[in-house]
Amino acid sequence: MLGIGADRNYPTVLLIDDDLISREVIATILTMNGYTLHTAADGAAALESLDGGICEPQVILVDVQMPGLNGVELIKELKTRSSAGIYAISGSEPPAEVRGAVDGFLMKPFGPDALQRLLDEHNLKLPEFAAIEDEPVISPKILGQFRQMMPEATVHEIYGAVVSDLKKRGVALEAAIARRDGPEVRRIGHAIKGGCGMAGAKQAAKLGALLETESDELNNSEKIRIELRTAQENLERMLKVEFSS
């Protein structure tokens, strides 16, 4: 079994399964073994998560026998939205056209070891940490939604609060790294991922997600902290441009 404190990176997984029990069991098993999990109850919900930037998985596990959007049609839609490895999951052998459309197949029930063997077999390479240069500072979609819902001054206040929060968490993060407090580093990362994700601050949210998956060895935390400071400064500069009037 893979340990949460193991000295390795774990991929972020999007699990798409309409069966509540299967979804919860798989999610619990993989989360307990170090994976970051996002779940969706059907194909439409999965596409909405990807479109909204709620999750950016490296691996997608998709039940190929669901009501509504499913099978090859769903797989095609997923591929237009993500470069993740896509693996079919099912309690029975999938049709040939599905096997040909995905990167691999896992028979239910399966555990983290089976998933890891499949990822190793397909040579999934995960970076030590993801640089943020190509990531937008703020999601244009979420910024546009905010501007439709509330006055410009209120939108400015929201992002100002995000910057202030990032500064405070940056101080706390530096202290946690200095004392080698892995659980606190992951807790701070989770908070940054959630808050910045809701506000559409994509660079900071991505780095928060990476902190959340750090092992107890904290091999990448200092690099991510430095990147997080850059993301904060990028957000401050963007606010000066966006709200200059």
Are residues 86 and 185 part of one domain?
Answer: no
Tell me whether residue 223 is in a domain: yes
From 121, 150, 173, the end of a domain falls on 121
Helix (H, G, I), strand (E, B) or coil at 106: strand
Residues found in the chain = 245
For the stretch 26-30, contacts whose Cβ atoms lie closer than 8 Å and that sit 24 or more positions apart, written own/partner, are 26/61, 26/89, 26/110, 29/111, 29/112, 30/112, 30/115
Q: Which of 121, 154, 169 is the last residue of a domain?
A: 121
Model pLDDT, residue 123: 60
- Rounded CA-CA distance 17/215 in Å is 28
Q: For residues 62 and 144, state if they share a domain.
A: no
Q: Which of 109, 124, 135, 114 is nearest to 25 (CA)?
A: 109
Structurally, the chain folds into a number of domains equal to 2
Rounded alpha-carbon distances, angstroms, from residue 173 to 10, 127, 191, 204, 211: 21, 21, 11, 13, 10
Instruction: Answer whether residue 41 is part of any domain.
Output: yes
Whether residue 227 is contained in a domain is answered as yes
Contacts 24+ apart (CB under 8 A), 143-152: 143/200, 143/242, 146/200, 152/243
SS3 202: helix
Q: Are residues 179 and 229 in the same domain?
A: yes
6 found inside a domain: no
Are 54 and 17 contained in the same domain?
yes
34 and 109 in a single domain? The answer is yes
What per-residue confidence (pLDDT) applies to 134? 63
CA distance 232 to 162: 9
> What confidence score (pLDDT) does residue 132 get?
61
Same domain, 147 and 116: no
Backbone angles phi, psi at 37, to 5 degrees: -115, 135
Residue 55 lies in a domain: yes
Q: What is the CATH number of the domain that holds 190?
A: 1.20.120
User: Are residues 114 and 16 part of one domain?
Assistant: yes
| Residue that is last in its domain, among 75, 92, 121 | 121
Mean pLDDT per block of 10 residues along the chain (245 residues) reads 37 88 83 78 91 82 85 91 89 87 87 78 56 75 91 92 95 94 92 91 90 80 89 89 74
Q: Does 109 share its domain with 153?
A: no
The pLDDT, as a whole number, for residue 150 is 92
Q: What is the CATH number of the domain that holds 79?
A: 3.40.50.2300
- 59-63 and 85-90: which strand pairing? parallel
- Which structural domain range is residue 221 located in? 140-242
Domain match, 44 and 111 both: yes
pLDDT at residue 3 in the model: 29
Domain-embedded: residue 45: yes
Domain annotation covers residue 18: yes
- Cβ(14)–Cβ(89) below 8 Å: no
Q: Do 93 and 188 fall within a single domain?
A: no
Orientation of helix 182-199 relative to helix 202-212, angle to 10°: 150
Q: Is 129 inside a domain boundary?
A: no
Q: What is the pLDDT of residue 240?
A: 85
